[in-house]
């Protein structure tokens, strides 16, 4: 958090000058000294001292060593309690912006892959059993919808963490009041905390963001599972580039979807970060307690893990290939249109429950005769029910079946095309 500690200290120095507690020259010394230290940390030349315990004391002690008394005045009317609360908010606010960018990049990669394969149809699954046909693009756009909700949660978390705690002191403010509105403006905070005790002990904003990150990780884990299945020999719908897969140390024919598997595994890690943070906070009395040092590790880990996963997934989908012929073979299964056959009977006046039963009898006949639904002769259908007519076989025209799915949110080709255009327009306006 060194960048944010320096950023906060520069704003605090401006408030000290405005209050007449330091001179203009002293403020300039402080600012120049902090920027020099920042440049050294950035370049990897700064020597951290473990005896100084944390980032705040390392920076302040080195500043004082370099510029003398002006550096020693910097901590006036400030505690490490409100200082770390400020730094954490500044850090998370900046990370929210990075997370937004990476979520948008993944959305764009999914939309692009969907657009390039908009005519590919695959079996949709419930209970991992073939259910009904869907456009591959429709399946990918389901994850785009999830990521859009994730973006909303990140934006909401950013709004609630964008509140200035500096000026709250250790617990009860200071007898040396500073212009907190001025500091908030300098640091671009939208509001100021109104209770000093809450300000230094609040970590709700961190919990909220890590909770959003945990849900992103869950979404990525679900997407990982689909990718892993699609890449298997049994499915073979998708091929990943070598950059996102590895071979086996023993079996030369293997191409393992490591990026997806690692991301699926890391979801548990991020969920664990959330549980760790909640457990740390659950028994703490007001206000600051040393236990709260344990908030950093899960917060940093959750942010870093999700950022990395989003970046990797965007690249993985940019380079993914779809095996259209394999998808076409899988979706040629007429059983995927069994529900469409029930709908056919409904349109002929049969109550749905009865239609469901009649199609079930036809499916049982397929099992008995080892054939598919289109291979059952009309006479056999009509023995099941006179409601079956010669036009029932039109039900098994896959393209017609897809075109009939016109309800809002359903995967007709027109709807999928419209949704792709909607997302392309939306994403072009967010960059």
Dist. CA 58–CA 51, nearest whole Å: 9
Contact at 8 Å (CB) between 248 and 162?
no
Decide if 127 is catalytic.
yes
* Nearby residues of 335 by Cβ (< 8 Å), 6 or more positions away: 130, 363, 366, 372, 373
Q: Prior bond to 239 cis, omega within 30?
A: no
What is the 3-class SS of 51-113, one letter each residue? HHCCHHHHHHHHHHHHHCHHHHCCCCCCCHHHHHHHHHHHHHHHHHHHHHHHHHHHHHHHHHH
**Burial environment of residue 325 by CB neighbours within 10 A (0 to 12, 13 to 18, 19 or more):** exposed
Catalytic annotation, pick one of 190, 191, 232, 248: 248
CB burial of 44-65 (b: ≥16 within 10 Å; e: otherwise) equals: eebeeeeeeebbbebbbebbbe
Distances (CA, A) of 159 to 94, 156, 204, 238, 319: 12, 5, 12, 39, 35
State both tokens at 330.
């899988």
Catalytic annotation, pick one of 127, 233, 249, 428: 127
Locus of tokens 């997407």? 223
Decide if 12 is catalytic.
no
The catalytic residue positions are 127, 248
């Amino acid at each position: 958090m060194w960048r944010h500690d320096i950023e906060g200290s520069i704003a605090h120095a401006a408030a000290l000058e405005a209050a007449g507690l330091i001179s203009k020259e002293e403020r300039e010394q402080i600012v120049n000294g902090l920027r020099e230290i920042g440049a050294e940390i950035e370049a990897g030349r700064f020597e951290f001292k473990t005896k100084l315990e944390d980032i705040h004391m390392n920076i302040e002690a080195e500043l004082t060593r370099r510029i003398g008394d002006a550096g020693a005045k910097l901590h006036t009317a400030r505690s490490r309690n409100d200082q770390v609360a400020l730094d954490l908010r500044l850090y998370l606010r900046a990370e929210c912006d990075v997370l937004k960018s990476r979520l948008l990049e993944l959305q764009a990669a999914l939309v692009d892959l969907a657009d390039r394969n908009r005519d590919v149809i695959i079996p949709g699954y419930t209970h991992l059993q073939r259910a009904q046909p869907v456009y591959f693009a429709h399946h990918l756009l389901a994850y785009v919808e999830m990521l859009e909700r994730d973006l909303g949660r990140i934006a909401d978390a950013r709004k609630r963490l964008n509140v200035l705690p500096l000026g709250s002191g250790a617990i009860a403010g200071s007898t040396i009041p500073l212009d907190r509105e001025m500091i908030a403006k300098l640091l671009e905070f939208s509001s100021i905390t109104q209770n000093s005790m809450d300000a230094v002990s609040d970590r709700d904003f961190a919990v909220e963001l890590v909770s959003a990150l945990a849900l992103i990780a869950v979404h990525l884990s679900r997407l990982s599972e689909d990718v892993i299945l699609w890449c298997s020999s049994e499915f073979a719908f998708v091929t990943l580039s070598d950059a996102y897969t590895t071979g086996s140390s023993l079996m030369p024919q293997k191409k393992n979807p490591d990026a997806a598997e690692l991301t699926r595994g890391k979801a548990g890690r991020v969920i664990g970060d959330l549980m760790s943070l909640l457990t740390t906070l659950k028994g703490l009395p007001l206000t600051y307690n040393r236990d709260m040092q344990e908030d950093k590790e899960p917060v940093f880990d959750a942010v870093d893990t999700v950022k990395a996963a989003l970046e990797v997934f965007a690249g993985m989908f940019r380079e993914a290939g779809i095996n259209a012929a394999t998808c076409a073979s899988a979706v040629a299964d007429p059983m995927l249109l069994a529900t469409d056959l029930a709908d056919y009977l409904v349109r002929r006046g049969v109550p749905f429950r009865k239609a469901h039963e009649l199609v079930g009898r036809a499916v049982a006949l397929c099992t008995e005769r080892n054939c598919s639904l289109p291979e059952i002769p009309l006479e056999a259908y009509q023995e099941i029910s006179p409601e079956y007519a010669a036009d029932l076989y039109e039900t098994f025209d896959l393209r017609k079946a897809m075109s009939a799915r016109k309800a809002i949110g359903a995967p007709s080709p027109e709807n999928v095309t419209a949704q792709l255009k909607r997302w392309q327009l939306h994403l072009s306006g967010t960059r």
